[in-house]
Chain A
């Protein structure tokens, strides 16, 4: 059953007010809490019994799958390997997310490896939110990995968000793109306190006319630290763009390293990166509209991470 903490976490990481409509798989404290499959979407345990396989049949459109994970039991470190097989011409939204509630001094964590096999002409939107709450002092760790394999003309949009409270996060995003496929990754991370978040992205453009756009937005407050690494390698006539912006506040530290590698003469690769405080003219503009300094900062950050 869902208790009040579970409901809060589910709301925050999956925008769910309770049990979702459509297909879902809810995992709580390392155990299956509930699962529902639909006509076009099947969910079952994998052979290794360390995760699930979500299969979306070819041609299934306008459907969603929710697979939130909640951890409220102290001292648990949950590791899963989930596979998503998206059939040809399908068009689906997958909402994942992990909420940790830590009420003690014992550490809690989740390592989720999500592998996507996106079929020809299929489109997938993947939304992943991470959040940790609770008064406990135990270290909360989230180390997500996504591996994306895209067939011809597939489209994948990935919205990856770490909202707050996570002490340590090491993220790895890997993707291989076949001809005509498009990948859009948007990563938004806010850290404060002594938190550390590191993100590695390795994208390989294998097919002609494949396209990748990677956007990273970071807000680094207090004594926290964030590092962002993105490598885009073009092995065909393809397009790649990396855009990373970091706002540093207080004593925040950031390292941003976008890297482009062209192994084909018709590759077009670009990047832009910036690190800095909130621009003064933005603050002054909002204050001239009647906001206080703190309200202006909050508004700018909320827009930046939206």
Chain B
């Protein structure tokens, strides 16, 4: 249902000093996502996970390669067009607005201002308070609150393909399991193809298939068990040769 063919993405390498120098973020991604399945995308920081997710949504225009969604070539479609084709995206760092309320965002996402429909959606993501609907989506919201809004607006789209970029950022530990269950429930009930970019074990365990991205390429496809040795390897400190012991804060890099 979602076919990525030889996806490349590169940006101008500002550190090189030359305007022509390019830095490759994605170096040839090939993968086909199947309908109704739950995919986890993981990998080290800076490996290209979010870049790939944004390329699917059209936020990053790919340098080369093609993306087919439900039999259509969407490579050159805008974000708006892809959204209308049924792709939804939950952002890791949510936009904050001045004056725009949660109700307004949710109404755009759901395509209706009908109070009962909106209440139904917020109940699904575990927001009990109706007052919350009229809160502005601004910098006064806590990290957990804004993530719930992000989740609600993604689900309200009733998408064919839902992409969640690190949905657990800023969420307290006790909320992660219900969130995983909710995403899973939505996936199963609506046969929704689901892609979650995450480092969190709870999401990776829930996934049918795990993709590990490393240096802009798919380094592994399979289940969590098979990925565990590689993930463990990644968690080993890479600063061994400059380590000065616990007294040096650099070990927390």
Residues on A facing B (Cβ under 8 Å): 217, 245, 279, 281-282, 284-293, 299-300, 303-306
Contacts and interface: CB of A to CB of B under 8 A. Distances in A.
Contacts of A305: 99
Contacts of A217: 98-99
B99 A288 contact: no
Given A289-B109, A303-B104, A282 B95 contact: yes
Contacts of B105: 285, 289
Interface of B: 57, 59, 78-80, 83-84, 88-89, 91, 93-101, 104-105, 108-109, 111, 136, 153, 157
A291 B94 CA distance: 17
Contact of A290 (B93, B99, B157): B157
Interface centre among A279, A281, A286, A291 (most CB of B within 10 A): A286
B157 A285 contact: no
A279 B104 contact: no
A159 to B, nearest CB: 14
Contact of B84 (A290, A300, A306): A290
Contacts of B80: 287, 290-293
List the 8 closest pairs (A to B, CB-CB), nearest first: A303-B100, A303-B99, A285-B95, A281-B95, A287-B79, A290-B83, A282-B95, A289-B109
29 contacts: A281-B91, A281-B93, A282-B96, A282-B97, A284-B95, A285-B95, A287-B78, A287-B79, A288-B57, A288-B83, A288-B89, A288-B91, A289-B83, A289-B105, A289-B108, A289-B153, A289-B157, A290-B83, A290-B108, A292-B80, A293-B80, A299-B104, A303-B97, A303-B99, A303-B100, A303-B136, A304-B99, A305-B99, A306-B99
A contacts with B: majority SS = helix
A227 to B, nearest CB: 20
Contacts of A245: 98
Given A285-B91, A289-B83, 13 more contacts: A217-B98, A279-B95, A281-B91, A282-B95, A285-B105, A286-B108, A287-B78, A287-B83, A288-B83, A290-B109, A299-B100, A303-B136, A304-B100
Contacts of A286: 108
A98 to B, nearest CB: 24
A300 B93 CA distance: 18
B97 A300 contact: yes
A291 B79 CA distance: 9
Contacts of B88: 288-289
B20 to A, nearest CB: 25
Contacts of B59: 284, 288
Contacts of B89: 288
A251 to B, nearest CB: 23
Contacts of A306: 99
Interface centre among A217, A303, A304 (most CB of B within 10 A): A303
A286 B79 CA distance: 10
Given A289-B83, A290-B80, A303 B98 contact: yes
B181 to A, nearest CB: 24
Nearest to B111: A290
Contacts of A288: 57, 59, 79, 83, 88-89, 91
Nearest to A279: B95
Interface centre among B80, B84, B104 (most CB of A within 10 A): B80
Interface centre among B93, B97, B104 (most CB of A within 10 A): B97
Contacts of A281: 91, 93, 95
A281 B36 CA distance: 29
A291 B108 contact: yes
Nearest to B91: A285
A289 B111 CA distance: 9
